[in-house]
Amino acid sequence: MLRKASSFPEEMLEHVLSFITSDKDRNAVSLVCKSWYEIERWCRKRIFVGNCYAVRPEMVIRRFPELRSVELKGKPHFADFDLVPDGWGGCVYPWIAALATAYPLLEEIKLKRMVVSDESLEVIAKSFKNFKVLVLSSCEGFSTDGLAAVAANCRNLRGLDLRESEVDDPSGQWLSRFPDSFTSLASLNISCLGAEVSFSALERLVGRCPDLKSLRLNHAVPLDKLANLLRGAPQLVELGTGAYSAELQPDVFSNLAGAFSGCKELRSLSGFWNVFPGYLPAVYPVCSGLTSLNLRDANIQGADLIKLVSQCRSLQRLWVLDYIEDIGLEELAACCKDLTELRVFPSDPYGAEPNVSLTERGLVSVSEGCPKLQSVLYFCRQMTNAALVTIAKNSPRMTCFRLCIIEPRAPDYQTLQPLDLGFGAIVENYKDLRRLSLSGLLTDRVFEYIGTYAKKLEMLSVAFAGDSDMGLHHVLSGCAKLCKLEIRDCPFGDNALLANAAKLETMRSLWMSSCSVSFRACKLLGQKMPRLNVEVIDERGPPDLRPENCPVEKLYIYRTIAGPRFDMPGFVWTMNGDSV
């Protein structure tokens, strides 16, 4: 390797680089010069691939020979809402097979929205002797057989996190496959599992792992067994309960309350399926120390809910159902001054009438009372421009703002105007805004505001908004840092897309469904932009059987150096190259 007289010794640069862990910084280092590129690539330990189809595994392996941690994402975000048909893709097996050969010392695999087969899990279990952490977030395609293979073979496993994944459950016995000599577990999240796990195996496992800090159970773990588990792991920092319901019996209650009191390190609580309110006071001893409370699945209402939340004065993160109502959010604003993240989910999203009294006023209260608020996800049924303007002025630290007004195209309910001004204030005031989701009645004007002010915006979600291509054009031409754009049911068509074709290569991906982009424009884009994969998803059949100006159902465009993918199902057509 050519070395200039004035350059650092390699070893020194490597040592300095070992302190640089952020992907962005690492990428910047690698662009300085060829020798830095070389040194950097040999000592990079972690890689994050935001779109598994953007690069082939061989390319990653060729560039980074010493990885210890690989993180991949598969399906587009809108797959969470059933907008991506089954069988679309995102199978991880080719990656696992390649990683198994290339990195025998691999320690971590983190996957999101990918299809993971039992076979993949078996390969992971048997290929990496020092495997430590497996995270499967919103994944599917595997069963507890695959998990059994991991349990049986990964002697040094520290973390197994199945958050939100769909797991087939032929047997609940997989937990027993952890050998008795296995004691390294620090984190276990099985909250998504549908069926019972062997409780005795669970209890023994928890009891023999002294480093266990995070334990999230599934609903099938009954409340009367929780106390025993807690006594076996008083060092827990994060706990997800199982079902929180039982006949109210004084000895069960006091046992539980005593067990909770013993968990002095507990900072995060979740779970709470099927809450029987009489048992809530058992957690009161830990409330004052909690920084994170996730009641997203808890059917607690009214005074019980407010009482619980108001005791958690150190709360930084709260996820809750709209049972909390405006009145509960006022209380929250008064009690929890350190709040940085709030998510309010709908308890009855498909009901025609509101079932709770949760309005824009709740969010206004929180913005007024909690100056550190950074991240909001709020489902509600009414909003005003005035409220949004107030919220915009109150929370300068906001980085993620997602508002979902349940009725599509709902206007300001007081003035009947579009919510353009309100969201305009949001983007103008939130200088560090990185993520935004819009809803309600919106014209092209809101996109003009976004293009003008949202200079740090990385992800934008749009539904039922805009009047014309100008809306899309404002966003694509104005938002310098835009990385992911997902759009549904908007009147955006060919013009804006083609005028901003080059922009698409600077983004990770663009999703458009139920819009007005014609097949002809898709073909053109695919032909002209070889480093974009332009994929048409259309379950009506081949798009070339319809007139060229017919809009496609769904369009997914992403930048890639891997070329068109090979694993497309019958309803996905690539617009690249000769196949069109």
12 contacts: CB under 8 Å, gap ≥ 6 = none
Binder among 448, 458, 535, 538 for another protein (CB under 8 A) = 448
Identify the CA nearest to 229 among candidates 249, 207, 214.
Answer: 207
Tell me the C-alpha distance between 375 and 372, whole Å. 9
Is residue 345 within 8 Å of 296, Cβ to Cβ?
yes
The answer to whether 480 contacts another protein (rule: CB under 8 A) is yes
Residue (153 or 576) nearer to another protein, CB? 576
Identify the CA nearest to 279 among candidates 256, 302, 310.
Answer: 256
The answer to whether 431 contacts another protein (rule: CB under 8 A) is no
Min separation Cβ 528 and another protein, Å: 5
- Spell out, one character per residue from 353 to 372, where the chain touches another protein: x when CB under 8 A holds, - when not: xxxxx---------------
Min separation Cβ 338 and another protein, Å: 25
The answer to whether 170 contacts another protein (rule: CB under 8 A) is no
Min separation Cβ 448 and another protein, Å: 5
Which range of residues in 6-14, 122-130, 227-235, 481-489 is near another protein by CB under 8 A?
Answer: 481-489
Residue (154 or 324) nearer to another protein, CB? 324
350 contacts: CB under 8 Å, gap ≥ 6 = none
The answer to whether 444 contacts another protein (rule: CB under 8 A) is yes
353 contacts: CB under 8 Å, gap ≥ 6 = none
Residue with tokens 């835009």: 482
The answer to whether 531 contacts another protein (rule: CB under 8 A) is yes
Q: Supply 140's token pair.
A: 């599917």
The answer to whether 324 contacts another protein (rule: CB under 8 A) is no
* Residues 18, 23, 29, 35, CA torsion sign: positive
Residue (75 or 110) nearer to another protein, CB? 75
Min separation Cβ 312 and another protein, Å: 19
The answer to whether 462 contacts another protein (rule: CB under 8 A) is no
Residues 176-235 that bind another protein (CB under 8 A): 192, 194-196, 218-220, 222
Q: Which ranges of 47-191 does DSSP label H, i.e. alpha helix?
A: 57-63, 93-102, 118-127, 144-153
Which range of residues in 154-162, 173-181, 257-265, 342-350 is near another protein by CB under 8 A?
Answer: 342-350
Q: Supply 377's token pair.
A: 């996800």
Is residue 395 within 8 Å of 361, Cβ to Cβ?
no
Task: Report how many residues bind another protein under the rule CB under 8 A.
Answer: 99
- Spell out, one character per residue from 500 to 529, where the chain touches another protein: x when CB under 8 A holds, - when not: xxxx-xx-------x-x---xx--xx-xxx
The answer to whether 116 contacts another protein (rule: CB under 8 A) is no
Residues 276-305 that bind another protein (CB under 8 A): 276-277, 297, 299, 301-304
Tell me the C-alpha distance between 243 and 218, whole Å. 8
DSSP one-letter string for 202-268: HHHHHHH-TT--EEE--TTS-HHHHHHHHHH-TT-SEEE-SB------HHHHHHHHHHHHT-TT--E
Residue (113 or 267) nearer to another protein, CB? 113
Which range of residues in 101-109, 197-205, 272-280, 364-372 is near another protein by CB under 8 A?
Answer: 272-280
- Spell out, one character per residue from 45 to 74, where the chain touches another protein: x when CB under 8 A holds, - when not: ------------------------------
